[in-house]
Chains A and B, each alone.
Chain A
């Protein structure tokens, strides 16, 4: 996979994670659903994330059939769609955030909206908007030939998911197909805050590292600084979603800023 290694140097996500690593800490990745409660709020909250300690920002495209999302994110994206969110607005959001901050901005999307616009066209517009790449919850490398080509063409990161159920063969294949980082699903389940992070997460991260992944970030169920601290001890990055969605829904951009500040206190590794 020499191609992957060569392109790693140009990966915006990798650069952000490596910058955190150089500071002796894990990276913080914050998720926001695009257009919730408005496109302007998503941009403002994205900037607040970056200014308060997030290294990467994940913008989710609202989709009619989000099978990997729990109730909180479903409710937010359903509301965004009901208010008339259009997929093309995600590029405005990415541009709005990347023009104001140094954070790497990824788009998290179910695959059909990308298919509909056209994989190449979607990639071109994302790159033009300054986006770092895509996180694809329902696209596995087996079906990703078109995306592999487009992401190479436009220099975008392709973040695939690995799970506690991934076999060693699949783990290797997915790690090799990924660029930027690998998204380790902490538990067998959907998005949503949980009181404790399963012990499976540590095993998944170890397996991904063993399969050759340089950067592995953990998502699903992470909602507070203690959980961030626990994961930061073994992972290269920590992904927080649902808790931020609750924050922006309840307290707007200010609440996102203060939660991000709090979450970032968990990033520094105790042994560092």
Chain B
């Protein structure tokens, strides 16, 4: 899966919280993309997240397809204290709908929910947008770890159960496994 969103909205922090349970007030800025993995067990299947945490700066935008190509899920992150980041998130959603694989599960995460006193993006607004575009939506906080696991779990549940590959990985969904049927991406 892939995390997208504007710079400094907390993409890396979300992943770090999910994968390692840590939080740093100042998370080192990401260059290109960072890669992390985490395995979670649902009731019926084990989901292995292979997460691309992408760089937020506009300059790295042209690299994003390299990472969301073949991703089965995406979290588009914005900062609830930053209207611009929400706008950017909308653009990301559009781009994903257009260029990512057609069955991609997209979640919208309004991060920094702990800073609700500085909120500028209303929950209702984002929620309405998410519904319009059929996105999973949650407000999260990597700092307090609110909803962090939930958003990943919600995605895991939405994922189609992949074909069992081999004997050892029963019901494993490999997030990064390219779709065998289709080479290359869609709508290029």
Do A and B come together as binding partners? Answer: no
Residues of A in contact with B (beta carbons under 8 Å apart): none
